[in-house]
Each structure stands twice: as C-alpha cells, then as structure tokens.
C-alpha cells in the first residue's frame, strides 16, 4: 500500500484530502444558505435552517464514506494492518498523513479512495475494521438508509416538493431518519466506553476523534427531530421560515 501522505503535487487537479473535505462542507453549506436566502428572504434563515443546512451536507458526505466501509471492508482491514505496522501507536501521525494525502479529481468521487478514513479511524476504534461489530453495521446501515432521506430533507428546507410529499410525510421520514442517527450514536458511545476501547489512548484524542466527531450526530439529530415534529404538527414549512 502506498503511504497515505504520498505526494503527487505535479499532477493536475490534485488537492490535499483535508482541503477536499473542507471545500465540500463549506461550499455546500454556503450554497444552501444562499439558496434559502434568495428564495425566502433573510428573515427565513433561522437557527433551525442554519443548523440543518450545515449538518445535512456533512451527513451526506459521511453516508458516502459509509458506503465505502461496507463495500470495501477487506481494503479497510488491509490498510488498517499496514497503518498499525507503519505508525506503531503514533495515531496522530497517521491522521496527519491522511489529511495531507494527495487526492486527484477522480479519487474525490471514488469510494475506494475514502476507505482511508475508516482504516485510520480504526486505530482509535478497531471495531470499524471488524465486520462483526456494532460500529461497522450501524454506520454501513446509516449510509444505505439515510442518504436518500438526507438529500430529501435538504431539498425540503428551501424548495417545493411533489404534491404527494406533504410536510407531514416529510416530517415522518425525517423523524425516522434523525432518530436512527441519534440512537445509533448513543449506542455507539455506550459500546465504546463499556468495552474500554479508550484504554491506551490520550484523553485529548478520545475527546476529539471519538467524542466531538461523533457528538455531532448526537446534537444535530435532536434539532432534526424537533424540525420533523414541527412539520408533522404544523403541516407546513414554517419551521424553516417559509
């Protein structure tokens, strides 16, 4: 396996992996904000809109990566074994190499390329390279089952949907989606700490790479469930300021 941080700076269209991720999150979020503002005015850009239009594109990206985890678990396992041998407990160095990994235009849209996310995260939680674990199945399941509802909800915030997709139906779909993500995160945290997977890791790494990163899927789904309940009860899109 080629080192994760191997440079290919001479190639056209090559960017560092962290730049690709940041550009996607920032541009997609700002694009959704702009579209909502353009369609419904500045007053419609409320806290619910701001929160969900940040979280939903990020969640769609993670869903894409979760498809890679399920489809290419053998590659994740091979990369994980290589990383363990190469870095020998220097997990932060492996994360740095991942962030600085050169990414070509074709690789940006390749599921196989993004297996590196999971092989590196597995240095902190090896359950992700084990297809028999809860962590593996909850994330793969979320990838397949929540990508469509994520895109639907993103669209529903600012745009009109076909007549059969009433606010109540969208709210029910959203309630199922967001509850699944929230519940899965709660069980994952319990599994991580109950099985003491934090042993041998610095508390800062546990807080950052396990706590904060996964914590987004604890707090933002609560906001999504609130918005979904409002859609069901109000039977309109007033929760999104329109």
For the question of whether the overall pTM of this predicted structure is more than 0.75, the answer is yes
Q: How far is CA 131 from CA 47, 138, 158, in A?
A: 38, 11, 38
Contact 231, 161 (CB under 8 A): no
pLDDT at 1 over 60: no
Eight-class DSSP state of 67: H
pLDDT value of residue 27? 97
What is the average per-residue pLDDT within 47-65? Answer: 97
Q: pLDDT tens digits for 100-112?
A: 999 998 999 999 9
Contact 153, 79 (CB under 8 A): no
Contact 153, 56 (CB under 8 A): yes
CA atoms within 13 A on the CB side of 117: 23
> CA 141 to CA 118: how far, in whole Å?
15
> CA 114 to CA 70: how far, in whole Å?
12
Q: How far is CA 79 from CA 102, 114, 135, in A?
A: 17, 11, 18
> CA 199 to CA 206: how far, in whole Å?
10
What is the average per-residue pLDDT within 211-238? Answer: 96
Residues 6+ apart with CB under 8 A from 49: 33, 36, 157, 240, 241
- In this prediction, residue 6 has a pLDDT band, given cuts at 50, 70 and 90, of low
Q: pLDDT tens digits for 159-168?
A: 999 999 999 9
- In this prediction, residue 4 has a pLDDT band, given cuts at 50, 70 and 90, of low
> CA 134 to CA 131: how far, in whole Å?
8
């Amino acid at each position: 396996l080629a080192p994760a941080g191997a440079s290919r700076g001479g190639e056209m269209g090559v960017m560092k992996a962290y730049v690709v991720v940041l550009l996607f999150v920032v541009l997609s979020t700002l694009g959704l904000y702009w579209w909502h503002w353009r369609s419904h005015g500045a007053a419609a850009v409320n806290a619910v809109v701001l929160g969900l239009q940040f979280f939903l594109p990020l969640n769609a990206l993670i869903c894409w990566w979760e498809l890679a985890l399920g489809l290419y678990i053998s590659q994740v396992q091979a990369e994980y074994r290589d990383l363990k041998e190469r870095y020998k407990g220097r997990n932060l160095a492996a994360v740095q190499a991942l962030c600085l990994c050169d990414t070509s235009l074709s690789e940006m849209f390749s599921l196989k390329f993004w297996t590196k996310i999971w092989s590196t995260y597995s240095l902190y939680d090896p359950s992700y390279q084990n297809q028999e674990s809860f962590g593996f199945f909850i994330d793969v399941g979320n990838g397949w089952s929540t990508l469509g509802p994520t895109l639907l909800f993103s669209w529903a915030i600012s745009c009109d949907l076909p007549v059969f997709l009433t606010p109540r139906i969208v709210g029910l779909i959203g309630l199922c989606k967001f509850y699944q993500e929230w519940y899965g995160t709660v069980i994952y945290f319990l599994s991580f700490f109950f099985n003491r997977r934090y042993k041998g890791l610095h508390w800062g790494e546990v807080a950052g790479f396990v706590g904060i990163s996964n914590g987004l899927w604890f707090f933002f789904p609560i906001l999504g469930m609130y918005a979904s309940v409002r859609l069901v009860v109000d039977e309109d899109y007033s929760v999104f300021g329109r």
